[in-house]
Amino acid sequence: MKKLLQMSALSLFVMLGAFLIINFTPTLASAEEGDSSSTEATPTQTSDESTENKSPYNYTAQPGDSYTKIARKAVQTYGINNNVSLSQAQIVAAETFLTIEAGSPKLSVGESVTLSEDAVKGAVEKAKGLDEAAQARWQKYVPYVDFNTNNVGQSS
């Protein structure tokens, strides 16, 4: 539990700093076991079952997951599926763009999250277009990010 709290605090610190870089103040929350709160639908989320079954970016939140972690997994999956190479700084930027676009929703364990192909592609393209100075600013957060998303959000 202590390790989870430390990781959550670190994730919050990283996200807060990232948002400050782009002049936003977010609310970041992790999925908590037994949390039954719901989120409003956003442009990157959908509950339409036909879309969920077609999207490679449909995940079910697991304990400790956050929207940012799920967005990170979607960005990495997009890169693999589309042979797009991103630096770790660009991944952090793209996941942050997606999280901001969604309104930094709080997730409940078991909640289904679908990020649209267009939203992920747009965030990746925006991150790929960052100049060197912007990438250097995002690079500051890379040491605090766990890029292993194997246990983040079970694919639905």
Residue 135 has pLDDT above 50, yes or no: yes
Residue 38 pLDDT class (50, 70, 90 cuts): very low
Tokens of 39: 């989120």
| E strand segments, the chain | 58-60, 112-114, 154-155
Task: Note whether 115 and 41 are within 8 A (CB).
Answer: no
Residue 121 pLDDT class (50, 70, 90 cuts): very high
Residue 111 to residue 95: CA distance in whole angstroms:
19
Helix H, strand E, coil C: the string for 19-64 is HHHCCCCCCCCECECCCCCCCCCCCCCCCCHHHHHHCCCEEECCCC
Answer with the residue of higher pLDDT: 142 or 26: 142
Task: Note whether 45 and 99 are within 8 A (CB).
Answer: no
Where are the chain's structural domains? Answer: 2-155
Residue 27 to residue 19: CA distance in whole angstroms:
10
Residue 47 has pLDDT above 70, yes or no: no
Residue 24 to residue 51: CA distance in whole angstroms:
30
* pLDDT average, residue stretch 42-68: 67
Residue 125 to residue 15: CA distance in whole angstroms:
20
Percent of the chain with pLDDT over 70: 64
